Amino acid sequence: MTRKTFLTENRSVFWFLLSLGVFALIITVLADGSGNGMISTSFVKTLGRTLCLMLVAIAMDVVWGYTGILSLGHMAFFGLGGYMIGMWLMYARTEIVLTASLNAAPIPPTPEEIHDAIGSQIFGLVGSSEFPAIWYFAPSLPAQLALVVLVPGVLALVFGWLAFRSRVTGVYLSILTQAMTLALSLYLFQNDSGLRGNNGLSGLQNIPGLGDVPQSHLSIAFFWASAVALGAGYVLFAWVVSGKMGSVIRGVRDNESRVRFLGYHVESYKLFIFTLTGIVSGIAGALYYPQAGIINPNEIAPIASIYLAVWVAIGGRGRLYGAAIGAAVVSLLSSWFTGGSAPDVNLGIYTIQWTDWWLVLLGLSFVAVTLLAPKGIGGLFDLIGNRHPVPATSSTAAGPDLGARRTVEGEEEK
């Protein structure tokens, strides 16, 4: 028997990383900033964002497809990650702009004056000029990067601990996660929440200190960062769901109480998966929003997390590449249809405009996939070769004895 390693047991990791690498290279060659310019900067950004969505989708697949927790709140963690990086981006950039203009004044400004000026610049929009306490770490990039991990992580940990400890499961848990993301977005919509209410944080595409670097170069750098994060996330989750951990969490999905009677503390496992996926979602968000340029509370509205579940369902639950493909296909199609580039369909009496009808099409495909192809797009890969070549048992006996019940009926004795 050949020695089994992580890669030989998880072929999809190799193929996924290979395709991702080839794809990233092709885009680099064709991109405006690094290649022959066949692909526009804005499309590179769209692709980079799509990679981040694929990352959050595989996190969703681990929590839903593998562990069986239908979380409809993971985009809250994604959004929080975006807000955390956005705070630094906005602060540092405003600081650079204001320092330059204030230094031109006859009397050089004190650090306090600069700080206050940044405050009134950022919060003037919501009728305030004071920095809220949550912006305490905003001047520091390392601190905000730590918060990208900590804020979604701690929220997932606390929420998960409360929910799983009370043994809330199934649809009730889904509703609870929806309530969490709704409450968070409603809170952030308030002007005095400290994150600029419905205006959100903007200008995030301008990276402080890299003002001279054109967006075409920044976009390809972020594209690569997203690709690396997706690849690393894929390897991480493939490792988590393989081996014994994967065995236990799939056991939790299929029969929670049986896992308990085997001595596993189910709640700890759920909490571990929920928190880990929450953290990865936060990191994905922190990479997504600098490529989007703006974040506002709409981004963590309940519908965002429902879309996430739809992507994973269409792509195929319970296999990581399925979720990634689903997120890529659906989100790219979505931007194509809603971007107005899809041609209208003239039916004579009625013209289908895809900007209006895309959601109907998405809804119908979701229903169709759920009913007709529960394995989703990822199920197509089963057509290539047998996934589980299992040797047939040589004996038909159900038990250890010759007299055991047989799976095949024997001849009746005459």
Binding stretches for another protein (CB under 8 A): 240, 243-245, 247-248, 250-251, 254-255, 257-266, 268-269, 272, 388, 390-391, 393-395, 397-405, 407
| Residue 249: CB minimum distance to another protein, A | 9
What's the CA gap between 156 and 389, in Å, rounded? 39
253 CB-contact burial (10 Å; exposed 0-12 / middle 13-18 / buried 19+): middle
| Residue 284: CB minimum distance to another protein, A | 21
Q: Which is nearer to another protein, 3 or 414 (CB)?
A: 3
Q: Which is nearer to another protein, 198 or 247 (CB)?
A: 247
Q: Which is nearer to another protein, 239 or 357 (CB)?
A: 239
Q: Which is nearer to another protein, 87 or 279 (CB)?
A: 279
| Residue 181: CB minimum distance to another protein, A | 25
What's the CA gap between 131 and 143, in Å, rounded? 17
What's the CA gap between 393 and 381, in Å, rounded? 26
Going through 338-408 in order, the beta strands assigned E by DSSP cover 345-346, 351-352
Residues with Cβ within 8 Å of 136's Cβ and at least 6 positions away in sequence, in order, are: none
And the tokens for 146? Answer: 């730590």
| Residue 346: CB minimum distance to another protein, A | 48
| Residue 267: CB minimum distance to another protein, A | 9
Q: What is the DSSP letter of 263?
A: T
Q: Which is nearer to another protein, 266 or 327 (CB)?
A: 266
| Residue 241: CB minimum distance to another protein, A | 11
| C-beta of residue 258 within 8 angstroms of C-beta of residue 251 | yes
Q: Which is nearer to another protein, 106 or 388 (CB)?
A: 388
**DSSP readout, 268-281?**
HHHHHHHHHHHHHH
| C-beta of residue 12 within 8 angstroms of C-beta of residue 238 | yes
What are the contacts of 162-169 at 24+ separation with CB within 8 A?
164/266, 164/267, 164/270, 164/271, 164/274, 165/267, 167/267, 169/256
| Residue 328: CB minimum distance to another protein, A | 26
14: helix, coil or strand?
helix
| Residue 165: CB minimum distance to another protein, A | 11
Q: Which is nearer to another protein, 244 or 414 (CB)?
A: 244
Tell me how far CA of residue 200 lies from CA of 3, 82, 87, 130, 203, in angstroms.
53, 11, 10, 16, 10
| Residue 240: CB minimum distance to another protein, A | 7
Q: Which is nearer to another protein, 341 or 395 (CB)?
A: 395
Q: Which is nearer to another protein, 348 or 399 (CB)?
A: 399
Q: Which is nearer to another protein, 264 or 381 (CB)?
A: 264
| C-beta of residue 131 within 8 angstroms of C-beta of residue 119 | yes
DSSP β-bridge partners for residue 39: 31
Q: Which is nearer to another protein, 346 or 388 (CB)?
A: 388
Q: Tokens 């700890």: give the residue.
A: 268
DSSP count for the chain of H helices, then E strands: 14, 4
| C-beta of residue 234 within 8 angstroms of C-beta of residue 17 | yes
| Residue 414: CB minimum distance to another protein, A | 20
| Residue 248: CB minimum distance to another protein, A | 6
**DSSP readout, 158-207?**
HHHHHHHHTT--HHHHHHHHHHHHHHHHHHHHSGGGSS-GGG-EE-TTS-
373: helix, coil or strand?
coil
